[in-house]
Amino acid sequence: MEEKEEKQQKQWEEEAPEETINETSEETVENETEQTSEITGEQKTEEQIEKIAKLEEQCADYLDKYQRCLAEFDNFRKRTTKEKASMYDDGVRSTIEKLLPVVDNLERAVAVQNQNNAEDSFYKGVAMTLKQFQEILTSMGVEEIKALGETFNPNKHAAVAHEDNDEYGENVIILEMQKGYQYKDKVIRHSMVKVAN
């Protein structure tokens, strides 16, 4: 029995260091694994932070580009709207300017015929045509520039003659030779006038 116990004891002694060694080596491996995972975790976190920072920077850049593009489009829309309105007004002014000599001739015809015979049917037709022309111009926003008796304004009147006359004040228009017209506060044609003093 003693021999058996001794053998067992030897066996235990022989086995005990191996278990201790095994336990120690397993603990060491576990510690190294934990440290490696901590390092890897830190590296992952740093990489993620860098990646997030890059994505945020890229996002901010895209947002800036989008806002600039939106502002440019809004400016383009406003500019084209103004250009369209301006082109329309320029077209109206140009067309009216070409029609004004016709109106002038109709006014002359009515003035001459009025002196001769106001009951003539031809005269009535010309007068009605002139009236219709004037109504169309008024409906389009075209206005006659008032001249006779007004003070001379170089922005609206063109002085082609001058007369010294004490009956009138200084720079008073005493004769309108040709009517002037304006469209939306812009002069289409200046009034040709004779100015006193």
User: How high is the pLDDT of residue 145?
Assistant: 93
Distance in angstroms (rounded) separating the CA atoms of residues 121 and 127: 10
User: How high is the pLDDT of residue 59?
Assistant: 96
User: How high is the pLDDT of residue 19?
Assistant: 47
pTM, two decimals, is 0.60
Within the chain, where are the H helices? 2-116, 121-139
Query: Which carries the bigger pLDDT value, residue 185 or residue 24?
Result: 185
Lowest mean pLDDT among 59-68, 112-121, 135-144, 166-175: 112-121
- Is-contact 196 169, C-beta < 8 A? yes
**pLDDT band for position 98 (cuts 50, 70, 90):** very high
| pLDDT tens digits, 118-155 | 677 888 888 899 999 999 999 999 999 999 888 999 99
